[in-house]
Structure 1
Amino acid sequence: MSDDRDAVDDQSYDPDADHAFPDERLNDVLAFVERDEEIQTYLDAQNVNPVARMRYNDHGAKHVSIVRDRALTLYDLCYEGGVEFNGAADQGLDAADEPVIVALAATLHDIGHVVHRDEHPYYSIPLAADLLDRILDEWYDTADAVRMKGEVLHAILCHHTAETPLTTEAGILRLADGLDMEHGRSRYPYERGGRGINTVSSQAIESVTLKAGDSAAVLVEIEMHNAAGVYQVDELLKAKLRGSGLEDDVRIVAVNTSEGGENIVERIEL
């Protein structure tokens, strides 16, 4: 399944860039993930059930890349903005472990789709647990690996809106998952004839930009070209933000940029 979403890279995480947080351990983990055949195969295989069989939006390697990049961008902006993170800290782990938790959870959050789209977060847990045993052994002793594993699995579970994040790291992933909403995400199911509300509303989203905010640590700006995009923002994204623990730290503004005629919706602010 090819994808034309390469343009959605303005928020990409750059290992060589300067970041507000300690990133050496994160960069090592990301390099490991990128060259691991089993992980990369999961990211490809997990797209078959939702897209090819159910005509749902992309949940494969490109989705994971965008979610991980945006999660790390959110983390960087929140870290620089003084937002407190408690996942690694509560376990007695280092600050350098916080972005590792975020990145690994973002990478593995959707692998349960290889079993089924329905209830996939719960299928992701045992599959991710097996992979984490192998990944974490590269950098952590037994005790710290157990603690890291628990934090990553917690974040994976809580990207599902039915569950409540208990850590800021988990809240970051939950919100980042909702921020992959541009039109390219629904290209394949749309071309196959899928016309569900997720597909149609995603077609209306032009761009998503994350930057440092004034009244909050993070400002998310969303451009849409018609009112169908309201569903992505006011239903899906709002549900991700609600209960994430980041409600006071992230401001979301969506603007309808279509020209001509009267816009039913011109602006939404969360």
Structure 2
Amino acid sequence: MINLPYNSNLKLKSILDRVNNNDFLQSLWECINVNAVRRMGLSDHGPVHFAIVSNIALKILRNLLEADVKPNIVTDHQMTNDDAEVVVFLGAVLHDLGMVAHRENHHLFSVPLAAQLLPSLLEGIYEDRERAIITAETLHTIYSHESEIPQLTLEAGVVRVADALDMKEGRARIPFIAGKKDIHALSAMSIRDVKIRKSKQKPVVVEISMYNESGIFQVDQLLRKKIAGTKLEGFIEVVAQVENQQRKTVLSRYTLGTLPESPTAEVIVQK
């Protein structure tokens, strides 16, 4: 069950209800986790993942909207911000469907599976033309959520980055306990918390706190690649820091979309 702050967006509420009551989709999510967790030793890619990603994505998008950043469904199709929220939500909950087949090239398999589900999720909520646009924009977010695929819309960038931000400590616990001790597992285990806020300078500020310095791999090697090339560049700042009771160390602070910055180290002793 996904809980989402749909606010006054009644289209989003209706689609959320349909997602939560779609047995076929729920079963696909369970099949994804069989492949991801049981067979491949990866972190959770099931219902919890989709709930986390959809909430993060909606938070990022709303921060951008409050800063008057225009989604592509508005600028290219003259639809509304509410419709952009629908696209982002659908992309967030459908982007990994292809993992029922395999992790490799899963974005290719996700597109036809999502195309099969979208008619029943949108029927009666949108007329034919709008339903076609929502379908097209959603499929683009799904296909391009992997770093190597060029992105064409703001909504796609929101989904890609939200997917990457499902990185808190507990999300890596399954592969770690199962014996996976590579840099991916170790760095993921060091992520203490992820928070999203806004500042006067940037509508999206991602604050990542870590137990130790190994988490910088998640931030500087993985998250940076996810943000690069998206339409979020210039609107997002990422701050990574190690926190404990004695001190707070800022390991990396960078803003993508401007001139590259070298990671900086700043030690703040807290009394």
TM-score, normalised to structure 2, is 0.88
- Asked if 2 retains the 8 angstrom alpha-carbon contact of 1:13 and 1:73, the reply is no
Per the alignment, residue 237 of structure 2 pairs with: 251
**Aligned equivalent of 1:137:** 123
Alpha-carbon distance in structure 1 between the residues aligned to 2:160 and 2:118: 19
State the partner residue of 2:253: 269
Q: Does 1:106 align with 2:97?
A: no
Q: Distance in 2 between matches of 1:170 and 1:94?
A: 16
In 2, the alpha carbon distance for the partners of 1:82 and 1:56 equals 38
Does residue 1:14 correspond to 2:5, yes or no? yes
Is residue 184 of structure 2 the alignment partner of residue 198 of structure 1?
yes
1:15-30 maps to which residues of 2 (within 5 A)?
A: 15=6, 17=7, 23-30=9-16
8 A contact 1:112–1:123 mirrored in 2: yes
Q: Which amino acid is the alignment partner of residue 99 of structure 1?
A: E
The 1:85–1:218 alpha-carbon spacing in structure 2 relative to 1, beyond 3 Å, is: same
Q: CA RMSD for the aligned pairs? A: 2.0
Residue aligned with 1:221, SS: strand
1:116-155 correspondence runs (5 A)? 116-155=102-141
Whether the aligned pair in 2 keeps the contact of 1:56 and 1:198 (CA below 8 Å) is no
State the Cα deviation string for residues 46-70 of structure 1 (Å, max 9, x = none): 1121221111122111111111000
Alignment of structure 1 residues 1-270 onto 2, 5 Å: 13-15=4-6, 17=7, 23-258=9-244, 266-270=250-254
What is the DSSP-based 3-state SS (H/G/I as helix, E as strand, rest coil) of the residue aligned with 1:184?
A: helix
Distance 2:23 2:4 in 1: 21
1:204–1:229: 8 Å Cα contact kept in structure 2? yes
Secondary structure of residue in 1 paired with 2:231: coil
> 1:24 offset after TM fit, Å?
1.8
Alpha-carbon distance in 1 for matches of 2:10, 2:227? 29
The number of residue pairs the alignment matches comes to 253
CA displacement, residues 115-157 of structure 1 (integer Å, 9 cap, x when unaligned): 0011111110111110012212231222221211110000011
DSSP 3-state at the match of 1:96? helix
* Consecutive aligned runs of 4 or more in structure 1 exceeding 3 Å deviation: 258-261
**Cα distance between partner residues in 2 of 1:52 and 1:200:** 19
User: Where does the alignment leave 5 or more consecutive residues of structure 1 unmatched?
Assistant: 1-8
CA distance in 1, matches of 2:81, 2:56: 19
1:259 Cα deviation after fit: 6.2
Q: Which has the higher contact order (CA 8 A, sep 6+)?
A: 1
C-alpha contact (below 8 Å) 1:158/1:164 kept by paired residues: yes
> Aligned equivalents of 1:118 and 1:111: distance in 2?
12
Work out whether residues 254 and 269 of structure 1, in 8 Å CA contact, stay in contact via their aligned partners in 2. yes
Task: List gaps (5 residues or longer) in structure 2.
Answer: 255-271
- Structure 1 residue 266, shift from structure 2 partner: 4.2
> Is the Cα–Cα contact under 8 Å of residues 181 and 205 in structure 1 kept in the other structure?
yes
Cα shift at 1:234: 0.4
Partner of 2:266 in structure 1?
A: none
Q: Sort the Cα spacing of 1:88 and 1:36 in 2 relative to 1 into closer, same or farther, 3 A.
A: farther
Contact persistence 2:204–2:237 (CA under 8 A) = yes
The 10-residue stretch of structure 1 (193-202 or 215-224) with the greater mean CA deviation from structure 2: 193-202
Deviation at 1:184, TM superposition (A): 0.9
**TM-score scaled by length of structure 1:** 0.88
Identity value in percent: 34
Aligned equivalents of 2:188, 2:75: Cα separation in 1? 37
